[in-house]
Structure 1
Amino acid sequence: MSKFIVITGAAGFIGSVLANYLNFNQLDNVIIVDDFSKLEKIHNYDSLPYDRIERDQFIDWLDKHHNDIDTVVHLGARTDTTEFDYGVFEKLNLNYSKNIWNICSNYGIDLYYASSAATYGDGTLGYNDDIELIDRLQPLNPYGLSKNEFDKWAIKQINKPKHWTGFKFFNVYGPNEYHKRRMASVVFHGYNQIKKEGKIKLFKSHKPDYKDGEQKRDFVYVKDVIKVLFWFLEHRPENSIYNLGTGKARSFIDLAKSIFSAMNIKENIEFIDMPKDIRDKYQYFTEANMTKLHNIGYNNPFYSLENGISDYVKNYLIPDKCFEK
């Protein structure tokens, strides 16, 4: 029997899409980990045939069953960028992740984990995933800080997994994010606003360099994210930290227009004030430098913003469906 791939955060957004993708590709050697008591996520994983491990039992379980494990894909995290209590992130995003890293390192288990574009802060140093720059990054919120602290810690470790990679996810959108509430993508919220009110609300700009709605992000469709993760599982390339976006920044107005187009509804955009609690912690521009990922051989095309939103809206949001291949 082949050894297992373990996915943490498997009831969540990206983790559940990966688990379902592996199932569609007929991988039966998968174990999923999460807090399965949160029933709002149940549709993300209820059809999966895999064994489940509760998150608070996983560290002890992994240490005990290490001989049976090939790879851990660690996608479980606290991801609320509006939570400002660093202690919340320190427990799950930092200490929990360190425990997983140490066990994987001690027993020769490969580890792939989620970092974040939030580590780049306001982009003063650009969006280059050169690990030499990580010590100089200044995240804008405790979430980004926790992710950057783990990246810095991991790089400095002498004891490392044989194969390991951190992925700096940019603005991921797509099916299976319905449970994320305030932290769901602007695509998800925009679709629901248009469906209910016939219009979408976007944040005004509070910087003179940007017009309202011209703030830009690197929006990446979750299907592309999963294809990259699957490619890493197949090829086990050079250990490092990699950006995972599209490499193309697009405006929130572009995003809104794409949703209206997919819904076949006339455009109606309203600009609202940004909440004061996030105003000085808001990224006005992100764009992944994808050179390093391309240089190791990943050259598959990514969905354009228009095509990704069209697929998401027409095949998942309108019919109210979870991820399918």
Structure 2
Amino acid sequence: MIIVTGAAGFIGSCLIARLNELNFNYIVAVDDFSFPEKNKNLEGKNIMERVERTELAAWLDTNYQEVEFCFHIGARTDTTEFNKAIFDELNVDYSKMLWNKCIDYQIPLVYASSAATYGLGELGYDDNEALIPQLKPLNPYGDSKNDFDIWALNQEKKPFFWAGLKFFNVYGPNEYHKSRMASVIWHAFRQINETGSLRLFKSHRPDYTDGQQMRDFIYVKDLVSVCVFLMEHRKNSGIYNLGTGIARSFNDLGKSTFVAMGKEVNINYIDTPADIRDKYQYFTEANMNKLKSIGYDKPFYTLEEGVKDYVQNYLIPANYW
């Protein structure tokens, strides 16, 4: 059996799709299944058992001998939520529980960290573990991910193989339920469909022109390929960046979306909201040398390739993966 937490969510459901394509069908899907809108993501997938998030610890105590691997993707990811107690419960304490169960029962573990741990990038975007305690995230979500990374690195006992993945700006199918937290591409597609135009934030810094703020956008199909690689690799434990290593501008993203939709480019610029302006990231780019150094050599989708696949094969026909 392979455990996937956050199974009904965006990345978790895409990971299950890839595992099914590779003929891994004994999937234990873990989530809070009380949100029916997310359950569409699991339709048509081969799943052996569904386990409520709150029942996983007890389930593992009974079924651990059957578990081959654990992907801990589930988390509270809302960067606009400022109740620290929610993140402590769902992102930190829950992850500690699962970490310790994986030690007790000799289960290899891959868990989702986040590029939100890097804050404004004052120390760059290098996954050097010595720098992790010095990072300054911008919100409680980023704090929670960094807190767990620090805790994991400080543990004397660790799973025999483990990896924490700092996801950068992920986009792709099955994110429709994330609303405000969905990718810019998802929002761009909806705006263009409804209005024929796209609104992007103006630059409020003299060294960037409007729409030239840059992010490392990674297609979810690349992300799950890395997860499968680590499941098969099972050595070189540690914390890894997971982006493409190439920053692209929001203008590039917008143009790619118009092209994929077969529409004329029409981009307008609006002020960045004042309440987020001083915490707005103008540049992120993952240093990917560490992952490549352990043997991951598959090329990543370019932004244009990823947007085209996402728009034409999933958004336009309203398909799930």
1:27 matched residue in structure 2: 24
Find the residue that maps to 1:256 and give its secondary structure.
helix
Letter in 2 for 1:67: Q
Deviations 1:207-236 (A, max 9, x none): 222221111000000000011111111111
Which one is further off, 53-62 or 108-117? 53-62
Deviations 1:122-170 (A, max 9, x none): 0110100010110110011111110000000000001110000000000
1:263 matched residue in structure 2: 261
1:45 to 42, 45, 54: 42
Letter in 2 for 1:223: K
Whether the aligned pair in 2 keeps the contact of 1:174 and 1:312 (CA below 8 Å) is yes
Find the residue that maps to 2:190 and give its secondary structure.
helix
Whether the aligned pair in 2 keeps the contact of 1:258 and 1:306 (CA below 8 Å) is yes
Letter in 2 for 1:116: S
- Which runs of 5 or more residues in structure 1 are unaligned? none
1:168 matched residue in structure 2: 166
1:307 matched residue in structure 2: 305
Q: Distance in 1 between matches of 2:191 and 2:216?
A: 22
Whether the aligned pair in 2 keeps the contact of 1:165 and 1:241 (CA below 8 Å) is yes
Whether the aligned pair in 2 keeps the contact of 1:71 and 1:110 (CA below 8 Å) is yes
Whether the aligned pair in 2 keeps the contact of 1:141 and 1:281 (CA below 8 Å) is no
Q: Matches of residues 278-297 of structure 1 in structure 2 within 5 Å?
A: 278-297=276-295
1:137 to 120, 135, 138: 135
1:218 matched residue in structure 2: 216
Please state how far the C-alpha of 1:64 moved relative to its aligned partner.
2.7
Change (3 A) 1:106 1:48: same
Letter in 2 for 1:32: A
Whether the aligned pair in 2 keeps the contact of 1:202 and 1:270 (CA below 8 Å) is yes
Q: Distance in 2 between matches of 1:248 and 1:92?
A: 31
Mapped pair 1:7 → 2:9: no
Q: Distance in 2 between matches of 1:275 and 1:31?
A: 41
Whether the aligned pair in 1 keeps the contact of 2:201 and 2:272 (CA below 8 Å) is yes
Letter in 2 for 1:315: N
Letter in 1 for 2:31: D
Identity %: 57
Q: Distance in 2 between matches of 1:291 and 1:221?
A: 18
Which one is further off, 77-86 or 189-198? 77-86
Q: Distance in 2 between matches of 1:174 and 1:43?
A: 15
Q: Distance in 2 between matches of 1:237 and 1:12?
A: 27
Which one is further off, 214-223 or 20-29? 20-29
How many residues end up aligned between the 2 structures? 320
1:152 matched residue in structure 2: 150
Q: Distance in 1 between matches of 2:58 and 2:95?
A: 13
Q: Distance in 1 between matches of 2:112 and 2:278?
A: 25
User: RMSD of the TM alignment (CA)?
Assistant: 1.0
Q: Distance in 2 between matches of 1:179 and 1:228?
A: 24
Normalised to the residue count of structure 1, the TM-score between the two structures is: 0.96
Letter in 1 for 2:258: F
Q: Distance in 2 between matches of 1:165 and 1:285?
A: 25
Find the residue that maps to 2:50 and give its secondary structure.
strand
Whether the aligned pair in 1 keeps the contact of 2:5 and 2:12 (CA below 8 Å) is yes
Whether the aligned pair in 1 keeps the contact of 2:115 and 2:166 (CA below 8 Å) is yes
Whether the aligned pair in 1 keeps the contact of 2:26 and 2:46 (CA below 8 Å) is no
Q: Distance in 2 between matches of 1:49 and 1:221?
A: 23
Mapped pair 1:102 → 2:100: yes
Letter in 2 for 1:46: E
Please state how far the C-alpha of 1:201 moved relative to its aligned partner.
1.1
